[in-house]
Amino acid sequence: MSDRNYMDENNARNYDLDSLRDNLGFQKNGNVKKTARGGPLPGETPSGRGGTDGRRSSESPITKRRDSKTGCLGGLMYFIFILSVSIILACVGWMAASDVFALNKEAMTAEVTLPEDIFTQKQVEVKDADGNVTGQKTVNVADIGKVAQILKDAGIIEYKSLFKLYSAISHAKEKMDPGTYKLSTEYDYRAIVKKMQFGSDSQVRTMVTFPEGFTMDEIFRRLEENKICKYQDLMDCAANTEFSYKFLEGIPLGDAKRLEGFLFPDTYEFYQGMTPEAAIDTFLQIFHYKLTAEMWELAKAKGLSIRDVVNIASMIEKEAANDEERTKIASVIYNRLKANMPLGIDATIQYILPEHKESLTAEDLAIDSPYNTRKNLGLPPTPIANPGMASIMAALKPASTNYYYYALDKSTGTHRFFASASEFNAFVATQKY
């Protein structure tokens, strides 16, 4: 083999070895010229790592491998972080959606009361189908923060802030009414708001019975006892609210007693927490429907208003022991009015006393009041009770008698009727009242 061939072959082997070293990450001492792969060119001496005698420094690719491992670990940790955050957000989103849309919630019901004191009222415009303003109406505006707290305390919702956000977006504060409602965790937020409106099927109803002869005061107190309305709110409403019924025409506002006699006694179904206007109107509507054209004509024929008829009927209601007596007591009242005599009906005095008494004292009988029909002529200022239909018809169709007096027979619990004062006084002398 020639020397030339031997040198060429040896150089080829060295070149292959250098290439292998470069590919494995080794560098030569000396000035380094980078290849496209980042290593020194074949035949060049690496710098900065050894001498200049052409010897290679023993180097390993440790640094490169460590960076690679660190990069992989960092990427994995970042992936885990992103995944964890996504899971947490997904869980929060699911819990929020579950509350808003009532998904997979444990079924339960609760009665929720929205009291009137968490509402204010405001006037809003009423528009027709074309968007033209046709008038104004009063709407209730709820304190959503307090509503959310009530719902949270009842277990109907989980997240107050979420409910307040929904309410702000949907303008729910103007879509609720005071009252007591039976709600379920199966209702979504939209349904909850819709259910908390007057007249909804979720509003709690209560059946309340009012006997014939109950006064307005007794009726209003019973309404408060059954959580229908507050007594004072009812009294204020009765005094100051205008109700558009013909039988109330000409009766001025300002005194709650103006409605005495027109709260027809019956059994009613009320919504708990309903407005006093709605509660009172329930009675007035029934009274309106009970009045017939014949009744109006009979009152007109006697020269009486419907209120006068109810006034007479209220005294009959409080005095009569049974239905048979009603028309006779009515005849006594009409006979005394015609004769310009005081009616002398003690039930009118009982009406103004703080509490009912079994028997009136001389001091009671001397009370200076327009309701004292022993001292004053004519009818009392207002009815003294809310009469039933039997007493109203007795006032419209009294018996035709010559009776001016009646007194209770304690042995029978019924009344005896007399045409003269002497007969009356003789009978009363036999009784121990």
Burial of 288: CB neighbours in 10 Å, binned 0-12, 13-18, 19+: middle
> What's the mean per-residue pLDDT of the chain?
85
3-state DSSP assignment of residue 202:
coil
Query: What average pLDDT does the segment 75-87 reach?
Result: 68
Tokens of 359: 């028997």
- Does residue 14 surpass a pLDDT of 60? no
Q: pLDDT digit string (tens) for 230-244?
A: 999 999 999 999 999
CB atoms within 10 A of CB 337: 15
The pLDDT confidence band at residue 73, using thresholds 50, 70 and 90, is: confident
- DSSP summary character for residue 116: G
Residue 103: per-residue pLDDT: 85
Please determine, for residue 306, whether its predicted confidence score (pLDDT) is greater than 50: yes
pLDDT over 50 at 51, yes or no: no
Mean pLDDT of 164-175: 94
pLDDT at 318: 97
As annotated, the residues of the chain forming the CATH 3.30.1490.480 domain(s) are 109-195
**pTM for the model:** 0.70
Maximum CA extent, the chain: 175
The pLDDT value given to residue 214: 98
Q: What pLDDT band is residue 12 in, cutting at 50, 70 and 90? A: very low
Contact 229, 279 (CB under 8 A): yes
CATH number for the segment(s) 109-195 = 3.30.1490.480
Q: Average pLDDT, stretch 291-296?
A: 97
392 with 401: CB under 8 angstroms?
Answer: no
CB 101 within 8 A of CB 176: no
Instruction: State how far the Cα of 39 lies from the Cα of 46, in Å rounded to an integer.
Output: 10
DSSP class of 48: S
Residue 364 pLDDT class (50, 70, 90 cuts): very high
CA distance 186 to 157: 10
The answer on pLDDT for 247 being more than 90 is yes
pLDDT score at 199:
84
> Once rounded to an integer, what is the mean pLDDT over residues 362-373?
96
Listed range (29-33, 85-89, 189-193) with the worst mean pLDDT: 29-33
Q: Report the Cα 180 to chain-centroid distance in Å.
A: 6
Position 32 scores a pLDDT of 43
